[in-house]
């Protein structure tokens, strides 16, 4: 077996990351580039994508940017085709684009629910579908970012929880259909991760210290820790892993919805 701790684990590979303009998606893109992959960044805001691409290029890596919304299938398909043409191939897809906010189910509008499902679940399917033909050429790997809310009943998160649970099921179904075609399909479920838009939306600073104390490992995770889990799944070390969702949550899911109940005042 190759030394999985070697540098340049992804040399010769081309990757595409949705939601690559910030947070976890940007962290994954930068780690992939550090390991030698050509990286294509997809997101709604070109300026954010360009900032991440500049960081990658300044460090000696290769990055392209493709501004589009994962809800817009024709635009996303074009972005994926363009990225594969520019890099000459596409081996790795990471679905990190997501939308979220705290909202009580009793007052959440149908359009609010649909918007999050469209971005998270439909956007993930859209990218998998558009990338399939490229990945199938030489085999490849997909990792989608889900969340502990997919399994843990969570107040104020009915929209995101349903969308993320859908991603976990889609991951298993695609793994079954596409395994024989050489495509592995997995997911990573982060718990609270510091420095992300998600945490600033879900855990305002005034609830942060109480929240941190309840995480079994006593702290939030880091973007690098999530990116490392994704790297493991797409690397040779993960070659026999498909259809799995890897929890990287400091044990947060073990304590149920407690942190979110804190946010609601108990
Ligand atoms: C209630 C809300 C709301 C809120 C929006 N809506 N924000 N409802 N509380 N705080 C409703 C709107 O009223 C509208 O419904 C509908 O959602 C669509 O809103 P738009 O702003 O028109 O949609 P859009 O511009 O497409 O924006 C999508 C978005 C937005 C999801 C609503 O927040 C967004 O773009 N987010 C992207 C970035 C993001 O959220 N990153 C964090 C991901 S964190 P009506 O009925 O009025 O038309 C994350 C962590 C995962 O994913 C962990 C948990 C699973």
Compute the distance from residue 137 Cα to the ligand 1 centre, in Å: 36
Q: What is the pLDDT of residue 53?
A: 98
Instruction: State the Cα–Cα distance between residues 184 and 28, nearest whole angstrom.
Output: 18
Answer yes or no: is pLDDT of 257 > 90. Answer: no
> Whole-number mean pLDDT of the chain?
94
Compute the distance from residue 159 Cα to the ligand 1 centre, in Å: 10
Which residues are bridge partners to 17 per DSSP? Answer: 41, 94
| Burial class of residue 78 in the structure, from the number of CB atoms within 10 Å of its CB (0-12 exposed, 13-18 middle, 19+ buried) | middle
Give the count of alpha carbons within 13 A of 253, CB side only.
Answer: 15
Answer yes or no: is pLDDT of 60 > 90. Answer: yes
Return the CATH number of the domain spanning residue range 14-264.
Answer: 3.40.50.720
Show the CA angle centred on residue 96, arms to residues 236 and 260, nearest 5°: 115
The answer for residues whose C-beta is within 8 angstroms of residue 213's C-beta and 6 or more apart is none
Give the pLDDT band (50/70/90) at residue 132.
very high
Answer yes or no: is pLDDT of 1 > 60. Answer: no
Q: What is the mean pLDDT of residues 148-168?
A: 96
Compute the distance from residue 100 Cα to the ligand 1 centre, in Å: 5
Q: What is the pLDDT of residue 5?
A: 59
What is this structure's pTM? 0.96
Q: Ligand 1, residue 112: give the atom nearest the CA.
A: 17
For ligand 1, atom 11, which residue shows the shortest CA distance?
112
Q: What is the mean pLDDT of residues 185-199?
A: 94
Q: Ligand 1, residue 69: give the atom nearest the CA.
A: 26
Answer yes or no: is pLDDT of 61 > 60. Answer: yes
| Residue 80 in tokens | 């994926």
Answer yes or no: is pLDDT of 204 > 80. Answer: no
Q: Tell me: the pLDDT tens digits for 81-108?
A: 999 999 999 999 999 999 999 999 999 9
Instruction: State the Cα–Cα distance between residues 144 and 120, nearest whole angstrom.
Output: 10
Q: What is the pLDDT of residue 227?
A: 98
For ligand 1, atom 29, which residue shows the shortest CA distance?
99
Could you tell me the residue ranges of all domains in the chain? 14-264
Q: What is the mean pLDDT of residues 77-84?
A: 98
Q: What is the pLDDT of residue 3?
A: 53
Q: What is the pLDDT of residue 189?
A: 98
SS3 string of the chain?
CCCCCCCCCCCCCEEEEECCCCHHHHHHHHHHHHCCCEEEEEECCHHHHHHHHHHHHHCCCEEEEEECCCCCHHHHHHHHHHHHHHHCCCCEEEECCCCCCCCCCCCCCHHHHHHHHHHHHHHHHHHHHHHHHHHHHHCEEEEEECCHHHCCCCCCCHHHHHHHHHHHHHHHHHHHHHHHHCEEEEEEEECCECCCHHHHHHCCHHHHHHHHHHCCCCCCECHHHHHHHHHHHHCHHHCCCCCCEEEECCCHHHHCCHHHHHHCCC
Q: Tell me: the pLDDT tens digits for 116-130?
A: 999 999 999 999 999
Q: What is the pLDDT of residue 135?
A: 98
């Amino acid at each position: 077996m190759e030394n999985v701790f070697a540098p340049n684990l992804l040399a010769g590979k081309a990757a595409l990351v949705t939601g690559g303009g910030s947070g976890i998606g940007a962290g994954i893109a930068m780690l992939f580039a550090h390991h030698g992959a050509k990286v294509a960044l997809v997101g709604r805001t070109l300026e954010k994508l360009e900032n991440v691409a500049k960081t990658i290029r300044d460090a000696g890596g290769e990055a392209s940017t493709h501004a589009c919304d994962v809800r817009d299938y024709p635009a996303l398909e074009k972005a994926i085709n363009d990225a594969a043409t520019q890099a000459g191939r596409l081996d790795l897809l990471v679905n990190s684009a997501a939308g979220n906010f705290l909202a009580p189910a009793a007052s959440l509008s149908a359009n609010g629910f649909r918007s999050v499902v469209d971005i998270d679940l439909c956007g993930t399917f859209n990218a998998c579908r558009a990338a399939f033909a490229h990945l199938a050429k030489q085999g490849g790997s997909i990792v989608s970012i889900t969340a502990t809310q997919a399994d843990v009943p969570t107040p104020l998160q009915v929209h995101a929880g349903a969308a993320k649970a859908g991603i976990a099921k889609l991951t298993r179904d695609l793994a079954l259909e596409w395994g024989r075609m050489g495509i592995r399909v997995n997911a990573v479920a982060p718990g609270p991760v510091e420095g992300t838009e998600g945490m600033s939306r879900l855990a305002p600073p005034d609830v942060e210290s109480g929240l941190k104390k309840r995480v079994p490992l006593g702290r939030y995770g880091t973007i690098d820790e999530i990116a490392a889990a994704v790297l493991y799944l797409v690397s040779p070390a993960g070659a026999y892993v498909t259809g799995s969702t890897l929890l990287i949550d400091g044990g947060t899911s073990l304590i149920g919805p407690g942190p979110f109940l804190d946010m609601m005042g108990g």
